A and B are shown apart, each in its own frame.
Chain A
Amino acid sequence: LPFGHTFFGGVHPKGNKNTHDFPSIRLDDFASVEILLQQHVGPPCVCVVKKGDHVNVGQLIGRADHPMTVPIHASVSGEVKDVSFVISATGAPVEAVTIISDGKYTVDPSCAKPEVNSRENFIKMVRNAGLVGLGGATFPVHIKLNPPKGSEPDVLVVNAAECEPYITSDYRQICEHPDEIIDGILAVMKWISIPRAIIGVENNKPLATDILEREITKQRLETKHESDITVKSLKTIYPQGAEKMLIYSLTGRKVPAGKLPHDVKVLVMNVSTLRFIGKHMKNGIPLVRKRLTLDGSALNTPGNVNVPIGAKIPDVIAAAGGTKEEPSKIIMGGAMMGFALDRIECGIIKANNAILVFGSKEARIPPETPCIHCGRCVKVCPMNLMPTGIDQSARRQEPEGLEYYNVMDCIECGCCTYICPAKRYLTQSIRNGKTLVRAERARAAAEQKLREAEALRHAGKEDAPK
């Protein structure tokens, strides 16, 4: 592939990587944690502790019965105060375990260096560790590692692009634990039988590229392994870290519409997910802590912190230095794709890689004005869609128009809304459009079923007199 090869479209938001040079700080001073028993797609876990139980760090508290889900573990040692339904960040009622921390962080004796001797073993280990994709989408890793027959990946794409403004947690991960990242990559390559790995880093992080390359060389010299791991510098453009864009930029393969990376024989994993695997293979502690970037104009001291999962957002903010003005907007995740919270009393979940606390000026939403057909949204759309057309169809509630404009291909990266000079709420409108299309498809399917049932009944009646 030619140098600088990348996808078409994209935008250049101000990076705001203010926390690049701040080493992560481990925060332990939490009186209690509230751990949700459903943290990703699939049904919730089954609670295996009750009020009054003593739990240790890494002890199982939520059993994963469904094949899609992964177990959930205690992130602090202490006493279970309550098992009850709480309102999650997205507004859904979810069962949660509240644990009063004893501050000792005693690790459960069940956590031991895992013995891995087969592919099945490895995947089971990953699942039992409660691992989900830590890039933000939280897709269960054990599902990803087990693609259908015929779709076995021939390349591992390591996502270290970190194209979201503000967020630097992956970058800090690379700076602080390059050894465990490479360990994790080697483990996945070995047990899933992938001959090649490419780490994609945006070219605004030359230090990260350097550190990774040096680590690879070092490990090669030390262990004399011949593994084919390369680091590739990518053009700094949002959304370079979006799965489909990253695969295209690194391998030149296009994931077909509606398909998954394994359909083009690629396995994509986030750099933090791989670091977790590397670390877990050493100490056996499941996923109970999360590294996240704290930033935004309302904070006193932006930085990267390492907190137990379930720590309440106000506690995390307070422990990290507090706010200098009343927050006007709190975002779980990045500024481009993150989720604005309507209440602050939420626990950190596995998906979190940033909490952004915006002051009133940063949170201001510009008023919407008429579309002037400038075509900027069309130009920046990395999926080559026509956001202005989708927007019109969505506002007119026309499912046919939405399907015509391929609304379901939208990855909701937000480029169109970011660039729109008329400040149209395009992504929001597109999301509404997707909901409409899903409803319409469901309605059409139900109608079809009804017609078939009707036809069967008629056929039955006609047959009867014979």
Chain B
Amino acid sequence: MNLQVSSSPHIRDNVTTKSLMRDVIIATVPAIIASGILFGLRAVLLILVSVFSCVVFEYFLRRIMKRDNTISDLTAIVTGILLAFNLPPTLPVYMVVIGAFFAIVVVKQMFGGLGNNFVNPALTARIILAIAFPNAMTNWSVPSGAFNFVTSLTGADLVSSATPLAILKSQGVQGAADLPAYLDLFLGDKAGCIGEVSVLALLLGVIYMVARRVITLWIPLTYIGTVLLVTGLAGKDPVYMLLSGGLFLGAFFMATDYVTSPVTRSGRIIFGISCGLITAVIRLYGNMAEGVSFSILLMNIITPHLDKFTMPKPFGEVKKHGKA
């Protein structure tokens, strides 16, 4: 009789890294569809290019490094989708490939592959692209207007326009007339990155992820709450802050990346609040469009310290027990 010997426990939960990644991919589907509707097929094409390049880079790099192949864990696909979500729909295809190269090769695999990258690959690649190609990365195209349910913006069919946050920043209160309505912002009828524009589509994905217990809400809620509070106190319209820019995408899909966010609950709360503060400060006083990206990147870097700092007290460390 050939008996298998192993350390207990002898049973395991069904959830695997792969099943979690599959759930994240499913959660991005509404936003992918929304990008196709709002920006046309070019947006979907960019997503496909991004995913394809990420997987190809991962596959060949692992082969060159003579490591196990890891494309089946689906993490490269997730990175590909999230990278594309953070790019403008007008971006030249080769830049997407460069972004994928930085995300997978430089940020992820050069640091040891899945689980060892200290910053979010997709976000870092986006920042690298924003610095390398500042014009291409801010060439926003406004949705075609075909699905403009609420109000038809002046010049809605123009190729390029300013994002709601840019309008808000450059024109202040006087520019309010140029701003899209709340419902347009919610549905996605605004200028912005491929995946960030439709808050509705992202929300569907978030509901799915929460229902499947893929993410906890500590980071996104503290993050968004802090941004709303601080910008609100500074006299900005919090609803605009929530519905425009990459806040929703960033808070729910980027800041919750397992590898680069804390493992403890209190660590996650500090992480979320800090991201919110940095984002709010950049939005209020900075002159770059990357408030969300920079805040998450900075907090990624101090995540290991947050984990150590917020290590929970073991059960029974409190010497005094309560009355029975």
Contacts and interface: CB of A to CB of B under 8 A. Distances in A.
Interface of A: 7-8, 11, 13-14, 155, 165, 244, 248, 251-257, 259, 264, 326-331, 335-344, 356, 358, 363, 365-366, 369-375, 377-379, 382-386, 388-389, 405-406, 409, 412, 414, 417-423, 425, 427-428, 431
A341 B5 contact: yes
Given A13-B11, A336-B10, A378-B263, A257 B317 contact: yes
Contact of A331 (B10, B262, B265): B10
A389 B305 CA distance: 12
Contact of A326 (B1, B259, B319): B1
A374 B319 CA distance: 31
| Secondary structure of the A contact surface, majority rule | loop
Contact of B17 (A331, A369, A418): A369
B263 A386 contact: yes
A328 B1 CA distance: 8
Contact of A375 (B260, B262, B314, B324): B262
28 contacts: A165-B11, A244-B316, A252-B324, A254-B316, A255-B316, A256-B318, A327-B3, A328-B4, A331-B8, A335-B9, A337-B8, A339-B8, A340-B3, A340-B6, A340-B7, A366-B12, A370-B114, A374-B20, A374-B263, A383-B314, A405-B311, A406-B314, A409-B315, A409-B316, A423-B16, A425-B6, A427-B9, A428-B6
B151 interface: no
Contact of B263 (A356, A373, A417): A373
B113 interface: yes
Given A340-B4, A356-B10, A422-B115, 7 more contacts: A256-B319, A326-B2, A328-B4, A329-B10, A369-B114, A372-B17, A383-B316
Contacts of B1: 326-327, 344
Interface of B: 1-13, 15-17, 19-20, 73, 113-116, 258-265, 268, 307, 311-319, 321-324
Contacts of A363: 4, 10
B9 A386 contact: no
A221 to B, nearest CB: 28
- Give 6 nearest A-B pairs by CB, closest first: A414-B9, A375-B263, A428-B7, A370-B115, A374-B258, A384-B312
Contacts of B322: 252-254
A155 B324 contact: yes
A14 B312 CA distance: 28
Contacts of B115: 370-373, 422
Nearest to B7: A428
A342 B268 CA distance: 43
B312 to A, nearest CB: 4
A7 B8 CA distance: 22
A419 B258 contact: no
A406 to B, nearest CB: 5
A377 B114 CA distance: 18
Contacts of A254: 315-316, 318, 321-322
Nearest to A380: B13
Nearest to B267: A375
A336 to B, nearest CB: 4
B3 A425 contact: no
A431 B319 contact: no
B59 to A, nearest CB: 17
Nearest to A409: B314
Contact of B13 (A13, A382, A389): A13
A445 B258 CA distance: 40
A105 B56 CA distance: 72
A365 B316 contact: no
B310 to A, nearest CB: 10
A256 B316 contact: yes
A384 B263 CA distance: 12
Given A155-B324, A373-B259, A244 B7 contact: no
Contacts of B13: 11, 13, 418-421
Contacts of A389: 307, 311
Given A372-B115, A421-B15, A423-B16, A383 B9 contact: no
B10 A338 contact: yes
A421 B16 CA distance: 4
Contacts of A377: 263
Contacts of A421: 13, 15-17, 19-20
Contacts of B19: 421
A257 B319 CA distance: 9
A248 B323 CA distance: 11
Contact of A418 (B12, B116, B312): B12
Contact of B3 (A342, A383, A384): A342
A372 B324 contact: no
Among B6, B258, B315, max chain A CB count under 10 A is at B315
Contacts of B20: 372, 374, 421
A431 B7 contact: yes
